[in-house]
Structure 1
Amino acid sequence: MSQKQKLYSTTKGESFQDNVTNKIIIHFENREIKVDWYQFKSLRQQINSVKLEEVLFDLSDQSDFLNLYIPNNPLRLTLCSFVQLKELIDGTMFSLQLNSMLCEVLGYHKTA
């Protein structure tokens, strides 16, 4: 049985950390995306590499959707959905970093 800890939520989605499988679980737009730490960092890097101002002012049909590549779960998002996912991913990262810092400061260590 998995032990999920809620990390962050918005009106459009939420994220959890599964302490048994060491996966980050993202619920967004009726999708469940399960990624490990490295996949999460890769997803966040993809999101942060998008220059929103350029996409916003690009009138071509190609800019109507943004594609993100996650193993076994490619995403094709509108600009609005992309911004909402970015907020969820950024909030999740903040929560993970805060949890890590608190564990370090308080001396908590993961035990097997």
Structure 2
Amino acid sequence: MSFDIPENLYYTESHEWVDPETGKIGITDYAQDELGDIVFVEFPGVGDHLETDDELGVVESIKAVSDIYAPVSGEVTAVNEALEGEPELLNDDPYGEGWLVELDLDSTDEVESLLTPEEYESQL
């Protein structure tokens, strides 16, 4: 099976992605596929400061409840409120309309320690 892995993002071994240009974070196409139909999403608060590997939120599907972790540290500047009414956006468009939170990154250096698209693909 082939999964969508955009070239402009960086990835974690636990299947989160970050866009260093926008600070947006979400879960990968692989993660949403493994979870199945997503029915609920829980976010941090805007203004919260997250360190790398802090719990960023929870995604609940008909199969499982999964913690989502921050791939980088920074202050939460936005949450995707559309997911509160339409959590299935995570299944339909995990890299677009299904983003989770936006961070003001503490440092772009942290992104360098994440997986490149090629490294993430080989992990799958």
Name the TM-score, length of structure 1 as normaliser. Answer: 0.32
Normalised TM-score (structure 2): 0.30
The structure showing larger relative contact order (alpha-carbon pairs under 8 Å, at least 6 residues apart) is 2
**Bigger radius of gyration among the two:** 1
